[in-house]
Amino acid sequence: MELRHLAERQSLSRKLPLLISGLLVTVIVLFAFIAYHQIADALMATTSARMAGTAQLLAGALDESARRMVLETQHAASDTAVQRYVVANDVALRPGALTALSRRAATTPQIIGVELLDRSGKRLLWVDGPATDSVPAIRGGRSDSAARSRSTAISPFVTEHGVISYDVAAPMVLDSRDTVAYLVQYREVPAGQGAALISGLISAKAAVLFGNRKGGFWTDFSSTVLGPPSFDGDRHTGHYNASYTARDGVEWTGTVARVGLAPWQVWVGVPVSTALAPAHAFLREIMLAAAMLVLIGGLAAFVLGRQVIAPLREVTIAAEGIAAGDYSRRVKTSRKDEIGILAASFNSMARQVEDSRSDMEGRVAQRTMELKSALEELHETQETLVRREKLVILGQLAGGVGHELRNPLGVMTNAIYYLSVVLKDAPESVREYLSILQTQVGLSEKIVGDLLDFARVKQPKTETVSVLALVEEELMRVGRLDGITVTRDFPPDLPPVCVDRIQMGQVVLNLISNAQQAMDGKGGKQELTLRARADRDGVVTLDVSDTGIGIASEQLTKIFDPLYTTKARGIGLGLSVSRTLAQANGAEIRARSELGVGSTMTIHFGAAGETAA
């Protein structure tokens, strides 16, 4: 049996736990991925906000400190003893100036030295500060001191012999507002303990770096370090987010804030791993929970699968028995769930199969009769094809006959016209017979025209035509319609169509003539309705509706067949020729009718897309 040869990997008892476990894994991984990224984004945003606030706070503190240093330098430059020495340039006043500058320098431990320069940048005095021994080379002066000392200013950080320093310069201005000298204080940056203390207050793993605003220099106040890229930052807020990768490969994220008065900036940041630590912890916990959930889900799916698959195996074995011809096989189960319903339905199906086997012979006989009927229909179809071949031959004959009859009919038309002209004073009966002759000759010409159109359709010469103008021309050809009210319904914005005016005019004329003949003799007031519409796709529709006797539904499918007619007059080519001409012009004719109510013939045109003349 096929069930015995079922591979273990194809069994539902194995597929179901794997499927449920895989589904759980997919859902949990997707949830963890989305949740992790949302938490990470929130953590990074919070960290960025904290770092921005701290950086701005530190930048503000540095700005305040810079203002105090500028004031101190300006006060030293305005000292009376120093100014008297600069103005008098007297050696006797030099000790007083040195004493005044030394006293002020001694109060600040970070001062390396104080230098007094004249307006051209030449050194006048040098006073050692408490931190002179840190950078003794500064005693010899800096080449760019004069350039930095043109006004009150704080210089960028510089590194000399491993010591980070900067200078504060203030001009010495007399009452005449002339700048006579410059006072420069060289200051050492404090050791890194202060930066480490600030970092510890922010976070255990936070870092604070100080640098020059123009970039290229960062320090933690103990040594120069690699820092983030620098630029002026936002003009309004004075800070910007900056991340970088340290020399040890650790990725840092933080905020740079610039110091207002000094050309410095502060960077406060933390490692990205530290900022995302809660997200990583969440991810580890969710993965642990996911593993447990997958394990429990797989075990539950295995138990559930065993409960479902065992009854299904019994149903499968019974089905294979029935397939082998044992229609007495049934499934035994007392379950009330869906499996029990399946077993009951299977038993009911088996009984129906067993019952249906008895009447199979009758159904076979019935199918044999249906096959015979189908063969008869095929025979009729074959006869239809033969009849169509005959129509082709008839069409060729009609072309020749119609061509030969058109000339005699033209002579007769001219003769009738001549007689009607020369016999103007003839009795009424003569004129009446001439009118009858003219009508019959016109009918004959229409039959000949239908024969020629049936035999061959000329290539249409298309032009842009107004549907309303086309209808009006054919109504004029029909003449008076006694006892028939003509209703026209044409919207003013109806687009024109691109067709052969003569061929489609013949189609419209045939439809109007058929409508007139359908209402002829019905009695009462009859109505011929000509209605046109255009849809959004530009397809123009013309309806020719009458209130005549209508067409039976079984005849409606045959009215376009050649030589088929329900009228006492005519040879049944009008509608067939009309459909052929319409198709040659890219149009389509459809018919609907109801006995005793009337008929509607519909022409579906394609819009020309331009205004008709």
> Pick from 326, 349, 378: which residue ends a domain?
326
Cα–Cα distance, 550 to 416 (Å, whole number): 36
Average pLDDT over every residue of 74-90: 87
On whether residue 335 sits in a domain, the answer given is no
- CATH number of domain containing 424: 1.10.287
β-strand pairing of 484-489 with 526-534: parallel
Structure tokens that stand for 207 in this block: 């870092």
* Short-list 602, 582, 588, CA closest to 499: 582
pLDDT at 419 over 70: yes
Question: Rounded to 5 degrees, what are φ and ψ at 110?
Answer: -85, -5
Torsion angle of alpha carbons 353, 358, 363, 368, nearest 10°?
Answer: 130
pLDDT at 613 over 50: no
Judgement on whether residues 144 and 229 belong to the same structural domain of the protein: no
Predicted pLDDT at 531: 92
The number of distinct structural domains making up the chain is 4
Judgement on whether residues 573 and 467 belong to the same structural domain of the protein: yes
**Helix locations, 144-208, DSSP H:** 145-148, 193-202
SS3 369: helix
With residues binned 3-state (H G I as helix, E B as strand, rest as coil), the percentages for the chain, rounded to 5, are: 55, 20, 25
On whether residue 229 sits in a domain, the answer given is yes
Which stretch of 81-85, 198-202, 348-352 has the lowest confidence by average pLDDT? 198-202
Provide the mean pLDDT of the chain: 77
β-strand pairing of 158-160 with 153-154: unpaired
On whether residue 352 sits in a domain, the answer given is no
- CATH number of domain containing 572: 3.30.565.10
SS3 600: strand
By the 10 Å C-beta count (0-12 exposed, 13-18 middle, 19+ buried), 407 is classed as: exposed
On whether residue 343 sits in a domain, the answer given is no
Q: Which residues contact 3 (CB under 8 A, 6 or more apart)?
A: 313, 316, 317, 320
Judgement on whether residues 506 and 575 belong to the same structural domain of the protein: yes
> Pick from 161, 188, 215: which residue ends a domain?
188
How far out from the chain centre does Cα 607 lie?
A: 33
Predicted pLDDT at 406: 62
Percent of the chain having pLDDT more than 70?
A: 74
Highest-confidence range of 162-171, 188-197, 455-464, 560-569, by mean pLDDT? Answer: 162-171
Judgement on whether residues 430 and 379 belong to the same structural domain of the protein: yes
Q: How many residues does this entry show for the chain?
A: 613
Q: Are 105 and 130 in contact (CB under 8 A)?
A: yes
Cα–Cα distance, 275 to 8 (Å, whole number): 50
Which stretch of 53-62, 173-182, 241-250, 340-349 has the lowest confidence by average pLDDT? 340-349
Judgement on whether residues 196 and 322 belong to the same structural domain of the protein: yes
Cα–Cα distance, 293 to 300 (Å, whole number): 10
Cα–Cα distance, 563 to 571 (Å, whole number): 6
Percent of the chain having pLDDT more than 90?
A: 5
Cα–Cα distance, 37 to 313 (Å, whole number): 47
Q: Which residue has the tokens 């003539």?
A: 513
Entry pTM: 0.47
Judgement on whether residues 202 and 279 belong to the same structural domain of the protein: yes
Judgement on whether residues 50 and 197 belong to the same structural domain of the protein: yes
Cα–Cα distance, 543 to 15 (Å, whole number): 64
Average pLDDT over every residue of 67-87: 89
Instruction: Give the bridge partners for 241, in sequence order.
Output: 255
Q: Are 577 and 561 in contact (CB under 8 A)?
A: no
Cα–Cα distance, 481 to 483 (Å, whole number): 6
* Short-list 173, 169, 162, 219, CA closest to 196: 219
Task: With residue 589 as reference, give the H or E element that holds it.
Answer: strand 588-594
Question: Which amino acid makes up residue 228?
Answer: P
CA dihedral (516, 519, 520, 524) positive or negative:
negative
Cα–Cα distance, 394 to 401 (Å, whole number): 10
CA distances from 388 to 376, 382, 418, 571 (A): 18, 10, 43, 16
CA distances from 266 to 159, 240, 459 (A): 17, 11, 89
On whether residue 345 sits in a domain, the answer given is no
Judgement on whether residues 434 and 490 belong to the same structural domain of the protein: no
On whether residue 331 sits in a domain, the answer given is no
Predicted pLDDT at 146: 42
Predicted pLDDT at 355: 72
Cα–Cα distance, 81 to 98 (Å, whole number): 9
Cα–Cα distance, 528 to 511 (Å, whole number): 11
Instruction: Give the bridge partners for 111, in sequence order.
Output: 187
Average pLDDT over every residue of 557-567: 66
Judgement on whether residues 446 and 517 belong to the same structural domain of the protein: no
Judgement on whether residues 215 and 320 belong to the same structural domain of the protein: yes
On whether residue 339 sits in a domain, the answer given is no
Judgement on whether residues 242 and 322 belong to the same structural domain of the protein: yes
Q: pLDDT (tens digit, 9 = 90+) per residue, 341-374?
A: 777 777 777 777 767 776 776 777 788 888 888 8
> Pick from 269, 304, 326: which residue ends a domain?
326
pLDDT at 261 over 50: yes
* Short-list 457, 445, 442, CA closest to 507: 457
Cα–Cα distance, 578 to 142 (Å, whole number): 109
On whether residue 35 sits in a domain, the answer given is yes
Q: pLDDT (tens digit, 9 = 90+) per residue, 183-199?
A: 999 988 876 555 555 65
Q: Which domain holds residue 175?
A: 78-188
- CATH number of domain containing 183: 3.30.450.20
Predicted pLDDT at 5: 47
Judgement on whether residues 27 and 42 belong to the same structural domain of the protein: yes
Q: Are 560 and 575 in contact (CB under 8 A)?
A: yes
